[in-house]
Structure formats: structure tokens, C-alpha cells
Structure 1
């Protein structure tokens, strides 16, 4: 943008400000720190008739985790409690407090066929697709 642009007919300073903001967001978007990423980190695997999900939850008790599923959405909520309230921290990269992640699944799942296991800070969830939603091969008559 040049100073001569301000006198130009049809020049919209607000449009120019939005363009500059978008450009700055794009340039700074890759500078996220690991602490700013969503918690907990999850991995999702797609099977033919099921989805498997793992979530890393170090230092969190299974009773402090709430897992719900509705149609094709899984919600993981919890509370990461402080282990020591009296210490003066020199460095703290693992935040405390409540967290929530909502994950869109690739298909509807049967809430009656969800299996969840929690061991050593790793939550493993297997979600099965309802029989009625599974693709069926159609026999073509000749």
C-alpha cells in the first residue's frame, strides 16, 4: 500500500486493513508453540467399520475424564489438577485446569458399542459403526 492509494477513487481502507490482517495471520500462524496446541493430543485411525482413537492424558486420573459420543461426534472433557499448589514454578509447560476436545468422526457410531481403556496416561477408545449404517454391496441382476 502506498500513500498515493489513499486518494484513489474506490479505495476501501477497511478492505485493505482486513487484507493486511489476513496476511499477518498467515505469516504468524506457523509460530504456535507446543503449549498453545489443543489438549489432549489425539490420534484417530479409520477402520472399515470402526474408528480407533488415542488421547494422551499424562498425570490425569481416569475419574477426571468424561467421554461422550453422539452420532458422529466424540467429546472428551476433563480436569488437569495441580499436583503441588505450594511450589513457586521456575518453568511450567503443562497447563492445569479444565479441558475439552470435540472430534468430528467420519461416520455415525453406535454408543452401545464403544470400548474405552485407560492405562499409563493413555486413553484408547474404539467406536463401532452401527450395522444399519454400514455400506452394503448390492447384487446387480443381469
Structure 2
């Protein structure tokens, strides 16, 4: 069977949007094939607003999440392999789903790692998500 992960991401995206909230994804930016603006990566992770207001031509298929977005006024084409998505959640209340990090070789070489910004404070701790079942918190 194929992975259920892309189906879950699409379903949770729709659920978040249908409830008037803003869907965000957290991405392992070191996953091979991931193409995101490197200056916004913190602790090898980038968090992205994937709402219809923040993206253009959003596509969540079985291989990747792709879209166009502006960062600091500059347009970017983003490509995020499904395996690189580590969470999808509502920005307003953090309800959503986390996924386990998938094993891979870090694709950023030492020079690229050194180029990542240090001025952006890293968020500490684990993303606080709630388990939901049938629309009720557990």
C-alpha cells in the first residue's frame, strides 16, 4: 500500500481551512530535495503558512507539497517532499498532527550549514499539539 501521510496532510489541511484557521506545516529542511528559502531555516526546520492567502498554486500530491510564496517581498517556488513534512497544524490553536522524522543523510554541507542564520532565536521544546478524536480533545 502507498503511504497514508499525503492523504492525512490533505485531510487535515481541509479540516483546518474549513474551521477558519490557518494551516501551517513544519518541515525538516535538511531532507534531500527540499527547496525552501534557507535564510528562514531555524534548527534545520522551517515552519510555513500554507493557507490560500499565503500561497499561490498550492499542490499537495503524493510526492510533495509545492507552491509559490513571497518571503521578504521576494517570490520563491517551494518544493517539500512529503517525507520532509513533520507536522501540519492550525496556527491559532496548534491542533493538527505530527509525523515522525524520517531517516536520511543531511544534504546541507558544512558551508551551507554555516550560512544558516544564527540571529533568529530558535523555539525550544516540542511542538504542542493536541490529540483529537471525532472533533473532541482527548
TM-score (norm. length: structure 1) = 0.20
Question: Relative contact order: is structure 1 or structure 2 higher (C-alpha 8 Å, sep ≥ 6)?
Answer: 2
**Structure ranking higher in helix proportion:** 1
TM-score (norm. length: structure 2) = 0.21
